[in-house]
Amino acid sequence: MPLKLIKVKSLKIKLIIWFSALLIAVYLALSLYFFLSHRSALYQKLDSELKVATLSLIKNLRMEENGVLTLSQNYLSGIDPAIGFKIFNHSGQVIFEIIRSEVSRERENSEKAALPEIWSSLDSLGFSFADRQKNPPTDNYFFRTRKSDKEHYWRILLLKTTIPEEEVEERNNEKANELPSVIYLVAFKSTRPIDEELETILRIIIIGGTAVLALSFAGGLFISNRALKPIQMISSTLKNISASNLKTRIPSGSYDRELVPLVKQLNDTLDRLDRAFERERQFTVDSSHELRTPLAAIINILEILERHPRSSEEYHQAIDEVLELASGLQNTIEDLLILARLDAGRSPLQLSRASFFELINEAWEMVKDKAAEKKINFHNEISPELIATIDIQKMKRVFINLLKNAVLYHRPNGTIWARGQQFNDRISLEISNNGPEIPPEKIPHLFERFYRGDESHSNAVEGAGLGLAIVKTAVEIHGGQVQVRSQAGLTSFIITLPKI
């Protein structure tokens, strides 16, 4: 069963992990660099010692009358006793060696006879006889590290060189003629001191890594707490905000620059939420008022009829009044339900192609009786070819409300126009009338719910003041907008829709 990575959902733990991982990675990189650099320096120093010792050996190497190679004791006293030497002829036979006490002790510490087994021939050093025959007799330094047992290592220098000609010419006997012209000089020294020093460094690195790991977790915890403290302050402030306490805001001046946009967005959201709750409260008050007023009137009429017997004509008149009030109450409830569905998004668009000319004519049929009472004329100047993809029922309700609003607030013998234009990416529709001018200070409030053009919400004009609120909401869910322009003798409601 494959292992699945554990997803950490805590931001604090993520910060601690990333900080610790970064710090440990830096520590390991620096430690590795230091270890390898120090190891290289130690081996370079050892190689230099072997090279200097080898060059000195060649200068002090002497040949006796019988052709035997010797060295003076004065030379040996100046050489590190831990360095050993072997000289091989071109056939790979040992013709000279120096193994002093320090080298012997290293051999004793790393199993007896291990050294001769490894370096008893040149082939064991990785140089075959064929290679030696093929290469010319020139000075070449080769360094190798060889293991003599399970744990012990030696650093080896191999120098291919020749015996000085003057040494050969001085010997006139037969043995001198047999002296090898090419020799292989091997110098070697134990790497135990280097290995022990490197092991000590590794132990220090491991101990330091443990300390760095602990410090990284502590530092990560400290930094994450500091970094998340502003978030905790914001969370604490938001916990104190409720439906009854929406005036509290997050102070942006006490936060870092990166958090200021977030704080601003949260404060803007709280402002919108506050305004929405305020509208909701006002809506509740206004809707209860609009529903209570006709209900109270109906109850009052019925109570009067119950007190004393009435004539048939009086009963019919009372019934007509009750029906009119009940009809208005029904219209208000329907408008409230429409707004509630639009606000909640539970009334999705049912899109289809439709002609605005025909749609506005159908809307006018719904209000023409009211218009006839006030002798208001209507002119539909929209081209029948102006067609778009819309929700027919919602847009029809928009035009009914606009035309009904124009009739209700118009003076007798007035005129209403419907006009439309098509642009590259939008459609503009306009419902205008030559009625009274709307005061500029009232225009921003026209689309508020239950607003009917005066402060008192009187019943002088029929309707609950929800028609224009429905217009605005229905147009906006189509991706459009509605504007109002009013001056003496001309008031226009302009709807702009995207061309689909």
Q: Which neighbouring-strand residues pair with 203?
A: none
> Buried b / exposed e across 331-367, counting CB within 10 Å, b at 16+?
ebeebbebbeebeeeebeeeeeebebbebbbebbeeb
| Whether the Cβ atoms of residue 464 and residue 470 lie closer than 8 Å to each other | no
Angstrom distance (rounded) from CA 7 to CA 459: 64
pLDDT one-digit tens code per residue, 424-441? 889 999 999 998 888 888
In sign, the C-alpha dihedral spanning 75, 79, 85, 88 is negative
Q: Give which of 381, 373, 332 is closest to 356, Cα–Cα.
A: 381
Average pLDDT of the chain is 78
pLDDT one-digit tens code per residue, 265-297? 888 888 888 877 777 777 777 677 667 777 888
Rounded alpha-carbon distances, angstroms, from residue 20 to 202, 218, 221 = 21, 9, 10
| Whether the Cβ atoms of residue 138 and residue 160 lie closer than 8 Å to each other | yes
The per-residue DSSP string of 183-203 comes to: EEEEEEEE-HHHHHHHHHHHH
Tokens of 121: 């021939």
Residue 452's φ and ψ, nearest 5 degrees, are: -130, 30
Strands in 45-181 per DSSP E = 62-63, 69-70, 83-89, 94-98, 140-147, 153-162
Overall average pLDDT of the 49-66 stretch:
80
In sign, the C-alpha dihedral spanning 450, 454, 455, 460 is negative
| Whether the Cβ atoms of residue 457 and residue 465 lie closer than 8 Å to each other | yes
Beta pairing, strands 377-380 & 415-422: parallel
- Between 338 and 54, the higher pLDDT residue: 54
Lowest mean pLDDT among 127-141, 155-169, 427-441: 127-141
pLDDT of amino acid 458: 45
What's the number of CA atoms in the CB half-sphere (13 Å) around residue 102? Answer: 15
Angstrom distance (rounded) from CA 484 to CA 451: 15
Amino acid identity of residue 420, one-letter, is G
Q: What percent of the chain has pLDDT over 90?
A: 20
pLDDT one-digit tens code per residue, 437-483? 888 888 888 888 777 665 444 444 455 677 888 888 889 888 899 99
pLDDT one-digit tens code per residue, 346-400? 667 888 999 999 999 999 998 898 899 999 999 999 999 999 999 888 898 899 9
pLDDT of amino acid 45: 93
Taken in order of first residue, the domains within the chain and their CATH numbers are 61-190 (3.30.450), 286-344 (1.10.287.130), 351-498 (3.30.565.10)
Nearest-Å Rg of the Cα atoms of the chain is 52
Position 123 pLDDT exceeds 70: no
CA 82 centroid distance within chain: 62
492: three-class secondary structure by DSSP: strand
Q: What is the 3-state secondary structure (H, E, C) of 453-486?
A: CCCCCCCCCCCCCCHHHHHHHHHHHCCCEEEEEE
Tokens of 46: 């050892």
Tokens of 72: 């003076």
